[in-house]
Amino acid sequence: HTEFRRQDYRPPDWLVPAIALDFDLGIETTRVKATLTVERNGGHDRPLRLDGDEIQPLAVRVDGQDADWSMDGDTLVVAVAGDRARVETEVAIYPASNSKLMGLYASNGMLCTQCEAEGFRRITFFPDRPDVLSRYAVRMTGDKAAFPILLTNGNPLRTGEDGARHWAEWEDPFPKPSYLFALVAGDLKPNHDSFTTRSGRKVDLNIWVREADLPRTGHAMAALKQSMAWDEETYGREYDLDLFNIVAVSDFNMGAMENKGLNVFNTAYVLADPDTATDTDFDNIARVVAHEYFHNWSGNRVTCRDWFQLSLKEGFTVFRDQGFSADTGSPAVKRIDDVRTLRAIQFPEDSGPLAHSVRPDSYVEISNFYTATVYNKGAELIRMMRTILGPDKFRAGTDLYFDRHDGEAATCDDFVKALEDASGVDLTHLKLWYSQAGTPKVTASLDQDGGTAVLKLAQTVPPTPGHPVKQPMPIPLKVALIGERSGAEIAPERLVILDAADDTVEFDGLDEPALLSINRGFSAPVDLQVDRRAGELEKLAASDSDPFARYEAIQELMMRWLIAAAQGEVADIEPVIRAVGDTLRSNQLDAALKAEAILPPSEAVIGDRMDRVDPDAIHGARERLRAAIGARLSDELSSAQREGGAPGSDLSSRAKGTRRLRSIALDFLAAADAQAGARLAKVQFDAADNMTDRSGALRVLASLDMPERVAALEAFYRRHADDPLVIDKWFGVQAMAQRPDALDQVRELIRHERFTFANPNRLRSVAGVFGMNQWALHHASGEGYRFLTDLILEADKVNPQVAARMVPPLGRWKRFDDQRQALMREQLERIVATPGLSKDVHEQASKSLG
Ligand code: B3K
Ligand code: ZN
């Protein structure tokens, strides 16, 4: 397979200022005629090369004449004599058999597209790269009954009827790269609304779904309008067309797609009501609606020059959606949530065989680079720039960026340059974060002598594949000192930028012993180890003035106990019990923050902190911790569980927080006493008028060996049998269950009549979730690895992109004991040796072997 390298970038040989597309739509066969206006770019005599993928030309004409053309693999090569020509092609495509869900495909009787990154070439021949921007004119013709609704980017111009068929012509006034093309045809109904922009333009908003789903679109619509207002207010960005459409589709490879004026969404990120969606689902819907909407500027108006620049739009847009969620909810809880994701997914990626920088240097299959590093570490990088510049200069920088590059395909360097030019701040050194992979390890210690304290900092950036030696990076650390006796801030927060291998910072005028509060708000995405005296964490857990740092202190207290316990050492659990108890009893902290603070780190995150991951010991330690907390704090937990009920229709932050705390409390109580816990969980389950309480109870029951478990699973299934999104939850809860027989259970799920490899949500609900179930996946027999591998190979025949995302858990092999290492490698080798493997899975598996 060809490897593409960032250094090899060359501007396109031919530009395509305009394209006209004519679709004759059918579920089985669709015919696509394309007319490209092409222009030679620069002085060269190279032919026109048009990308294709699994398509054959039925006709090729240049300026109306039969053309001189040939195929070079999948690429159509056309001889063009002059500097400008009209190139026409015609192809037939087969949506119903397109199981990769890239290009034009069928889903529940409708047709829809997914083009990012390289799906447009599965629809028609085209220079399918993001730096070729074209104006699109699209004509769609199809059966009126099958496809009453015909949608594409931009604005509708004309429609007409012709017997049982009808047609529509649309035009998108904004030049765009092919990856932003979209088309939808089907029997859909709109939730219609409108938004008036600050300059007074009325924008029609539609969320298109199957009729039965209309009642569940209100939350997404509210989130869309909030996003439109927020982007005007926060970034000065106004919407630019008269129409904004969202379509929900149940077969979709990822969350959603920001096609110009026609966002296509996974139903999981559109449909919600309290009976079928959890509070987390509600939050995720708002987050994804906002994210895709924000792409209209960060991605569409200013797009990427090449796919190595992917974080230019994704890192920045994640940063923007994080700001939206923080501003419309609880900033502290949002930050905790984002850091949890980073530690659970990005840190392991950054320390394993698939590590790559935020701006990767090479790829085989670009779909494999839509990663937590490009998205979430990319967002952290933008956050660090904002921290260093301050909000006003940062905003001046983004204004300049949008203004300077509007209508262009830009690079990460262009973004940084705009920030530098607007702020006068030199960010050269910070750009190392774009090119160096690996999570920096930072150590910190505070030495106090009377009124003076010296903070010692040191950093190392670990080696990653292909990059053995790293330079120190600028690491912005927010630091404050908390008085050990008073609990007050005795040195106010300041920004320390560690930009060398080590450094010291002095604090004066201290009148009591100081506690170090550092990396407040998680100002830098680093692995920080602080040298602390006994008792320090407990005091910080009770008094740190930064809510995030307080959360960190409690988590670190638990983590230290868990690691010691997993290594068979005797550790004192009393400080943990006291900190969790104080947190639960606090009347300063709200329920949402309490819930985040007391939830023990996941088994995978604990493993990530140990040199050698021992999944059984980690599981045992975490069980003991949960049981001890459940037993010792049963009064506090019981009242949180009892009082945490709020009507399902109440979606206020307060209600969401109490519900979250409620199910976490339930989980502790059940860990201490399985019988009483099962009874209590069943009561919560039966009484629930909302999915948060119901699935929270079900999650607890799924791991217990009690009769209530089977009863609840059956009741849940029966109640929601008609709702695929809830059936996904039913699969997921069982795939995540912490049980000795987890593997047998998951094997059953695969045999269940509702399981299918064809629907990505369903596949992920079993295979994706099982890959995160550390204790089950890493069963000493190696059966978990074999099972996951079977699933990957089966899935690869249907949908390589989704299959490739199931590989990374096997790539963590280096962190386990020799026996597990051998078993994991054996399965990776089995994958690589499979004939007919996709390049998606091949790249992930071969890199994972290291
Ligand atoms: N830009 C899309 C992701 C496309 C993934 C293609 N494999 C969704 C998003 O990040 O907004
Ligand atoms: Zn995105």
Ligand 1 neighbourhood includes 321 CB (under 6 angstroms)? no
Say how many Å lie between the CA of residue 356 and the centre of ligand 1: 18
Tell the residue nearest (CA) to atom 3 of ligand 1. 257
Q: Are residues 639 and 735 in the same domain?
A: no
Say how many Å lie between the CA of residue 317 and the centre of ligand 2: 6
Tally of domains within the chain: 5
Neighbours of 782 (CB within 10 A): 16
Ligand 1 neighbourhood includes 117 CB (under 6 angstroms)? yes
Neighbours of 496 (CB within 10 A): 18
Which ligand does the CA of 179 lie closest to? 1
Tell the residue nearest (CA) to atom 10 of ligand 1. 314
Q: Which of 246, 370, 802 to mutate to test the pocket of ligand 1 (most atoms within 8 A of CB)?
A: 370
Tell the residue nearest (CA) to atom 1 of ligand 1. 257
Q: Read off the CATH number of the domain in which 819 is found.
A: 1.25.50.10
Q: Is residue 611 domain-resident?
A: yes
Preceding peptide of 117 cis, ω within 30°: yes
Q: Read off the CATH number of the domain in which 513 is found.
A: 2.60.40.1840
Mean pLDDT score of the chain = 98
Q: Is residue 625 domain-resident?
A: yes
Ligand 1 neighbourhood includes 420 CB (under 6 angstroms)? no
Say how many Å lie between the CA of residue 102 and the centre of ligand 1: 12
Q: Closest ligand 1 atom to the C-alpha of 253? A: 7
pLDDT, position 534: 85
Q: Are residues 668 and 724 in the same domain?
A: no
Encode 32-64 in three state secondary structure.
EEEEEEEEECCCCCCCEEEECCCCCCCEEEECC
Q: Are residues 512 and 460 in the same domain?
A: yes
Q: Give per-residue pLDDT as tens, 104-134.
A: 999 999 999 999 999 999 999 999 999 999 9
Q: Closest ligand 1 atom to the C-alpha of 367? A: 7
Q: Give SS3 for 830.
A: helix
Q: Is residue 681 domain-resident?
A: no
Q: Give per-residue pLDDT as tens, 332-366.
A: 999 999 999 999 999 999 999 999 999 999 999 99
Say how many Å lie between the CA of residue 599 and the centre of ligand 1: 31
Ligand 1 neighbourhood includes 563 CB (under 6 angstroms)? no
pLDDT, position 481: 98
- Residue carrying structure tokens 């899935």: 795
Q: Is residue 282 domain-resident?
A: no
For residue 176, what are its two tokens? Answer: 């765009």
Q: Are residues 493 and 538 in the same domain?
A: no
Cβ-contact 573, 631 below 8 angstroms: no
What is the C-alpha separation between 170 and 350, in angstroms, rounded?
Answer: 44
Q: Provide the sign of the torsion angle of the four alpha carbons 277, 280, 285, 286, taken in this order.
A: positive
Q: Which of 422, 411, 429, 387 is nearest to 304 (CA)?
A: 411
pLDDT, position 191: 99
Q: Closest ligand 1 atom to the C-alpha of 117? A: 6
Helix (H) or strand (E) holding 598: helix 591-598
Say how many Å lie between the CA of residue 741 and the centre of ligand 2: 38
pLDDT, position 676: 98
Last residue of a domain, one of 187, 206, 232: 187
Ligand 1 neighbourhood includes 254 CB (under 6 angstroms)? yes
Cβ-contact 843, 368 below 8 angstroms: yes
Q: Which of 294, 314, 317, 363 to mutate to test the pocket of ligand 1 (most atoms within 8 A of CB)?
A: 314
- Residue carrying structure tokens 């049980």: 739
Ligand 1 neighbourhood includes 289 CB (under 6 angstroms)? no
Q: Which of 31, 81, 35 is nearest to 61 (CA)?
A: 35
CA end-to-end span of the chain: 17
Q: Read off the CATH number of the domain in which 112 is found.
A: 2.60.40.1730
Tell the residue nearest (CA) to atom 9 of ligand 1. 257
In 390-446, where does DSSP find H-type helix? 391-405, 412-423, 432-435
Q: Are residues 498 and 511 in the same domain?
A: yes
Neighbours of 768 (CB within 10 A): 18
DSSP 94: -
For residue 145, what are its two tokens? Answer: 């009954």
Contacts 24+ apart (CB under 8 A), 226-233: 226/286, 226/290, 226/324, 226/328, 227/289, 227/290, 227/293, 227/294, 227/324, 228/195, 228/197, 228/203, 228/293, 229/195, 230/290, 230/324, 230/327, 230/328, 231/293, 231/294, 231/297, 231/320, 232/197, 232/198
pLDDT, position 337: 98
| Active-site position among 292, 314, 349, 380 | 292
Q: Give per-residue pLDDT as tens, 608-661.
A: 999 999 999 999 999 999 999 999 999 999 999 999 889 999 999 999 999 999
For residue 259, what are its two tokens? Answer: 């096609």
Tell the residue nearest (CA) to atom 2 of ligand 1. 257
Say how many Å lie between the CA of residue 310 and the centre of ligand 2: 9
Last residue of a domain, one of 187, 214, 231: 187
Across residues 424-431, what is the average pLDDT? Answer: 98
Across residues 289-293, what is the average pLDDT? Answer: 99
Across residues 204-220, what is the average pLDDT? Answer: 98
Q: Are residues 510 and 551 in the same domain?
A: no
pLDDT, position 18: 99
Say how many Å lie between the CA of residue 68 and the centre of ligand 1: 36
Please give the share of the chain, as a percent, with pLDDT higher than 90: 100
Ligand 1 neighbourhood includes 231 CB (under 6 angstroms)? no
Tell the residue nearest (CA) to atom 4 of ligand 1. 116
Beta strand residue intervals within 422-531, DSSP E: 441-449, 452-460, 475-483, 489-498, 502-507, 514-518, 527-530
Tell the residue nearest (CA) to atom 5 of ligand 1. 116
DSSP 99: T
Neighbours of 228 (CB within 10 A): 24
Helix axes 574-585, 615-632, angle to 10 degrees: 50
Q: Closest ligand 1 atom to the C-alpha of 255? A: 8
Taking CA atoms, 191 is separated from 113, 281, 282, 752, in Å, by: 21, 19, 17, 34
| Annotation marks residue 292 as catalytic | yes
Ligand 1 neighbourhood includes 558 CB (under 6 angstroms)? no
* Dihedral angle computed from the Cα positions of residues 153, 154, 160 and 162, in that order, rounded to the nearest 10 degrees: -10
Q: Are residues 505 and 574 in the same domain?
A: no
What is the C-alpha separation between 610 and 603, in angstroms, rounded?
Answer: 11
Q: Is residue 695 domain-resident?
A: no
What is the C-alpha separation between 399 and 401, in angstroms, rounded?
Answer: 5
Q: Are residues 628 and 740 in the same domain?
A: no
Q: DSSP letters along 278-330, please?
A: -HHHHHHHHHHHHHHHHTTTBTTTBEESSGGGHHHHHHHHHHHHHHHHHHHS-
What is the C-alpha separation between 675 and 705, in angstroms, rounded?
Answer: 9
Tell the residue nearest (CA) to atom 6 of ligand 1. 116
Residue 715 has pLDDT above 90, yes or no: yes
Cβ-contact 268, 761 below 8 angstroms: yes
Q: Closest ligand 1 atom to the C-alpha of 116? A: 6
Q: Which of 254, 266, 298, 366 to mutate to test the pocket of ligand 1 (most atoms within 8 A of CB)?
A: 254
DSSP 249: E
Ligand 1 neighbourhood includes 840 CB (under 6 angstroms)? no
Across residues 765-775, what is the average pLDDT? Answer: 98
pLDDT, position 404: 99
Taking CA atoms, 151 is separated from 140, 164, 172, 243, 733, in Å, by: 8, 18, 12, 11, 37
Q: DSSP letters along 696-759, please?
A: HHHHHHHTS-SHHHHHHHHHHHHHTTT-HHHHHHHHHHHHT---TTHHHHHHHHHHSTT--SS-
Rounded (5°) CA angle 170-172-178: 110
Across residues 274-293, what is the average pLDDT? Answer: 98
- 490 pLDDT band, cuts 50/70/90, is very high
Q: Give per-residue pLDDT as tens, 469-481.
A: 999 999 999 999 9
Q: Which of 464, 504, 509, 503 is nearest to 489 (CA)?
A: 509
Q: Give per-residue pLDDT as tens, 22-56.
A: 999 999 999 999 999 999 999 999 999 999 999 99
Helix (H) or strand (E) holding 513: none
pLDDT, position 831: 99
Q: Read off the CATH number of the domain in which 411 is found.
A: 1.10.390.10
Q: Which of 116, 249, 265 to mutate to test the pocket of ligand 1 (most atoms within 8 A of CB)?
A: 116
Residue 185 has pLDDT above 90, yes or no: yes
Q: Is residue 206 domain-resident?
A: no
DSSP 126: B
Q: Which of 88, 187, 172 is nearest to 137 (CA)?
A: 172
Q: DSSP letters along 192-259, please?
A: EEEEE-TTS-EEEEEEEE-GGGGGG-HHHHHHHHHHHHHHHHHH-----SSEEEEEEESS-SSSEE--
pLDDT, position 465: 97
Neighbours of 49 (CB within 10 A): 15
Ligand 1 neighbourhood includes 365 CB (under 6 angstroms)? no
DSSP 467: B
Q: Give per-residue pLDDT as tens, 227-266.
A: 999 999 999 999 999 999 999 999 999 999 999 999 999 9
Q: Which of 647, 718, 712, 652 is nearest to 677 (CA)?
A: 712
How far from the centroid of its chain's Cα atoms is residue 514's Cα? 39
Say how many Å lie between the CA of residue 257 and the centre of ligand 1: 6
What is the C-alpha separation between 440 and 87, in angstroms, rounded?
Answer: 51
Q: Which of 625, 661, 671, 670 is nearest to 641 (CA)?
A: 661
Q: Are residues 596 and 526 in the same domain?
A: no
Q: Are residues 478 and 550 in the same domain?
A: no
Q: Which of 66, 62, 52 is nearest to 83 (CA)?
A: 62
Ligand 1 neighbourhood includes 367 CB (under 6 angstroms)? yes
Ligand 1 neighbourhood includes 318 CB (under 6 angstroms)? no
Q: Which of 580, 577, 526 is nearest to 550 (CA)?
A: 580
Taking CA atoms, 818 is separated from 143, 527, 845, in Å, by: 61, 26, 19
Ligand 1 neighbourhood includes 172 CB (under 6 angstroms)? no
Q: Is residue 697 domain-resident?
A: no
Q: Which of 390, 406, 408, 566 is nearest to 478 (CA)?
A: 390
Phi, psi of 684 (to 5 degrees): -60, -45
Is residue 748 left, alpha or beta, with left meaning phi > 0 and alpha meaning psi from -120 to 50?
alpha
Residue type, 692: T
What is the C-alpha separation between 454 and 514, in angstroms, rounded?
Answer: 11
What is the C-alpha separation between 203 and 201, in angstroms, rounded?
Answer: 6
Ligand 1 neighbourhood includes 538 CB (under 6 angstroms)? no
For residue 238, what are its two tokens? Answer: 């106004």
Rounded (5°) CA angle 435-336-576: 120
Helix (H) or strand (E) holding 536: helix 536-543
The count of C-alpha atoms lying within 13 angstroms of the C-alpha of 759, restricted to the half-sphere facing its C-beta, is: 19
Say how many Å lie between the CA of residue 389 and the centre of ligand 2: 24
Q: Give per-residue pLDDT as tens, 307-319.
A: 999 999 999 999 9
Residue 145 buriedness (CB in 10 A; 0-12 / 13-18 / 19+):
exposed
Q: Hey, which residues does 239 pair with through a beta bridge?
A: none
Q: Are residues 383 and 494 in the same domain?
A: no
Residue 809 has pLDDT above 90, yes or no: yes
Q: Is residue 236 domain-resident?
A: no
Q: Are residues 813 and 744 in the same domain?
A: yes
- 736 pLDDT band, cuts 50/70/90, is very high
Ion ligand 2: residue ranges with CB closer than 5 A? 314, 317
Residue 711 buriedness (CB in 10 A; 0-12 / 13-18 / 19+):
middle
Say how many Å lie between the CA of residue 669 and the centre of ligand 1: 40
Q: Which of 505, 488, 489, 492 is nearest to 452 (CA)?
A: 505
Task: Note the ipTM here.
Answer: 0.99
Q: Give per-residue pLDDT as tens, 436-455.
A: 999 999 999 999 999 999 99
Across residues 265-281, what is the average pLDDT? Answer: 98
Last residue of a domain, one of 408, 435, 462: 435
Q: Residue 516 sits in which domain range?
A: 441-531
